[in-house]
Amino acid sequence: DYGATRKWIGNQEGQLEYTRDLIVSVKITRESFKKKLTEIEKKKMNLWYSGSYEVLNSKKLIHKIKKSSDVSRVGSELERNYLFRKKILVISGVGLRGNVEMIWEKIKK
């Protein structure tokens, strides 16, 4: 299945922040259709990580993970393609279980 594209079931929302001092922070929360979740299922519904980022060129960047809700991600480097148009940022690349594509909308602070 590696390399397959999958859509997360249900609704997701999150927050992505890039700072001028090259820090990245990501938080994604998923909604479950199940009424009762095990503790492991609850942990899988929330993903967060933080670390640094490096812009490689006008289409690629790397997230260097220092802290994560999934300890297996700590120390990893995620190469991502990106496309920014107006208020929309699309980030894509190879995730842990296949290809990922995340669409983020910029909000005013």
Is 80 exceeded by the pLDDT of residue 67? Answer: yes
Whose tokens are 């199940």? That residue is: 34
Q: Give, for 39, the enclosing helix (H) or strand (E).
A: helix 39-44
Task: Name the residue with tokens 């009762």.
Answer: 36
**φ/ψ of residue 106, rounded to 5:** -75, 135
Per-residue pLDDT averaged across 86-101, rounded? 83
Mean pLDDT of 68-90: 91
pTM of the model: 0.77
Task: Over range 73-80, report the average pLDDT.
Answer: 93
| pLDDT tens-digit series, residues 7-42 | 555 677 889 999 999 999 999 887 766 677 777 776
N-terminal to C-terminal alpha carbon distance within the chain = 40
Q: Mean pLDDT over residues 91-108, rounded?
A: 81
> What percent of the chain is modeled with pLDDT above 70?
83
pLDDT at 2: 41
